Structure 1
């Protein structure tokens, strides 16, 4: 039982939860946890179908707080690796073993993210620099201006091509494969984020003590609905999380952000290196 996996659900369709739990359960011995923030417990039967530990939190404490329940359990039972997985994700049986094997060969890595595709097979650009307030504002409200400025390509690290292993400052929370000892060291998710940017915050704190790496040798499928683009309620949550993030790390002046992002962009300008030789882009403290 070297791997534990956790999914946080909020009124997701049972068939969707069955897909993601079935993906993780394909690896024998994996420890599964479903934290259900829904008002009802209709997903209990789905969890039982796949042998998942079921935690019902109808008070809906938020994404990070719910995941911390599973992280605490992973630390308690002593799994070496822990996967944070979105409910709108599915993947083949090769993914978790490949991520574990790569982490075992590279003990300086604290977090891996696999290649991520839309259901039609096209690539999702979820590798990111640490955000500046202007990135989030322009990307959300003036996307054409942001794209034409060239800043989108830099922020989403397009120059890396998404076909090579890269050290990435901010990895997506839709699928994070983490070393449990690193999670214990940094304390898991910051529960003050109810939803959105908790993955950036976690990536940044992991990046202070270990490498955060994009690993496209295996891929997953992610539906990626961009809820805050469609719901004013989710947009307001996104804005509140952004305010908390920049209050915590710095708004216009953030020396660590400038250093980490500069190193990441400099690395993209160099030819790809063997993974074992790739330099860390993190700001160790």
Structure 2
């Protein structure tokens, strides 16, 4: 088998359904398997997988064992030569895995591959490619100065070597994953991807960023940024620093101070709810399915109009809610449109293939939106 796609789920049933459907489409011409491992979700995620995707390998944990341990459990039973660690709040383009496989086959020093991640607003997520968080870089990042944290020397749509990739999408050989002992289980959530990226380069391999293929990552859906999130995120940064850069008591103290200050500052910022001032003037459904249009019209309290892809010939479209029918438009094309129409007071929703819901996210740090019809 060529590829095992590992998806760790926790209470994101609708996003998981879209993720699996996009993966199935992207692995149509690849000898591949999908493994979903669930960390004791309290929604009907597992029931949904059993009903809609009986061919998917489902592992049901009876407790939330965290990101690292759960992914290691799934990789242990994976049969693919390559594995892809994938968040459930993602959707992959039709050629994403083929692009990664073709790129991987010509890189003898291949560690892991990361790709262009865009959020629900169509904007690029800079964590797609990062520099190594040395003590100085980490300290400045914790205080809000992240200029050297991200790998800006590589263009968003370019290819190149990077130090650190994000755990929402990591594509690598299973043999490399096993060699570096996978994710470090000292991390419960957050920081594992930094640690794994670093272990890969320390083992003599090279991580690559592949900006020519895109993956949608809603980001805010898997985890809400509450006090527990802040504790885990900055705690993970401290673990990574102590494990790999613990050479000076003074530097240790500085980073610990930075972590404490950052937690307080971030916590205060999060106490003020974010607001959007977008006034939507139109709602456009990209579909040829009039049954879908009728169902959406009945469930949404706004006038809808169907449109073909020709609408995008208009160079300036603003203040519009776009609903994409993924049966009508491939995911890769949807991503391109989202990039094209971003930052114009537009919002985006996707109806996955053969589904009775639409989903999206209007801010990369907020919980996503699901409308069932």
Fold match (TM-score > 0.5): yes
- Structure 2: how far apart are the matches of 1:246 and 1:44? 36
User: Is 1:18 matched with 2:13?
Assistant: no
TM-score normalized with structure 2 length: 0.61
Q: What is residue 85 of structure 1 aligned with on the other side? A: 86
Q: 1:232 to 1:134 in 2, by over 3 A?
A: farther
Q: What is residue 73 of structure 2 aligned with on the other side? A: 69
Would the aligned equivalents of 1:171 and 1:200 in 2 still touch at CA under 8 Å?
A: yes
Rg comparison, structure with higher value: 2
SS at 2:207 equivalent: strand
- Structure 1: how far apart are the matches of 2:73 and 2:222? 24
Would the aligned equivalents of 1:89 and 1:222 in 2 still touch at CA under 8 Å?
A: yes
- Residue among 239, 242, 263 paired with 1:244: 239
Q: 1:229 to 1:40 in 2, by over 3 A?
A: closer
Q: 1:153 to 1:226 in 2, by over 3 A?
A: farther
TM-score normalized with structure 1 length: 0.78
Which range moved further: 43-52 or 214-223? 43-52
User: Is 1:8 matched with 2:8?
Assistant: yes
User: Is 1:199 matched with 2:199?
Assistant: no
- Residue among 222, 230, 233 paired with 2:225: 230
Q: Which runs of 5+ in 1 are unaligned?
A: 147-151, 254-285
Displacement, 1:247? 1.4
Would the aligned equivalents of 2:88 and 2:222 in 1 still touch at CA under 8 Å?
A: no
Q: What is residue 271 of structure 1 aligned with on the other side? A: none
* CA-atom RMSD in angstroms: 2.0
SS at 2:214 equivalent: strand
Where do residues 149-168 of structure 1 align in structure 2 (5 Å cutoff)? 152-168=146-162
User: Is 1:217 matched with 2:212?
Assistant: yes
Displacement, 1:55? 0.9
Displacement, 1:161? 2.2
- Structure 2: how far apart are the matches of 1:168 and 1:21? 28
Q: What is residue 62 of structure 2 aligned with on the other side? A: 58
More helix by share: 1
Which structure has more RCO (C-alpha within 8 Å, separation ≥ 6)?
A: 1
Q: What is residue 117 of structure 1 aligned with on the other side? A: 118
Displacement, 1:181? 1.1
Q: 1:238 to 1:226 in 2, by over 3 A?
A: farther
Q: Which runs of 5+ in 2 are unaligned?
A: 249-373
Would the aligned equivalents of 1:132 and 1:252 in 2 still touch at CA under 8 Å?
A: no
Would the aligned equivalents of 1:103 and 1:109 in 2 still touch at CA under 8 Å?
A: yes
Which range moved further: 239-248 or 176-185? 239-248
Would the aligned equivalents of 1:153 and 1:159 in 2 still touch at CA under 8 Å?
A: no
Would the aligned equivalents of 1:228 and 1:238 in 2 still touch at CA under 8 Å?
A: no
Would the aligned equivalents of 1:47 and 1:53 in 2 still touch at CA under 8 Å?
A: no
Q: 1:229 to 1:131 in 2, by over 3 A?
A: farther
Displacement, 1:207? 1.2
Equivalenced residues, count: 241
Displacement, 1:252? 6.3
Q: 1:227 to 1:37 in 2, by over 3 A?
A: closer
SS at 2:126 equivalent: coil
- Residue among 156, 169, 179 paired with 1:175: 169
Would the aligned equivalents of 2:89 and 2:221 in 1 still touch at CA under 8 Å?
A: no
Displacement, 1:160? 2.0
- Structure 1: how far apart are the matches of 2:85 and 2:36? 11
Where do residues 130-149 of structure 1 align in structure 2 (5 Å cutoff)? 130-140=132-142, 142-143=143-144, 146=145
Would the aligned equivalents of 1:37 and 1:56 in 2 still touch at CA under 8 Å?
A: yes
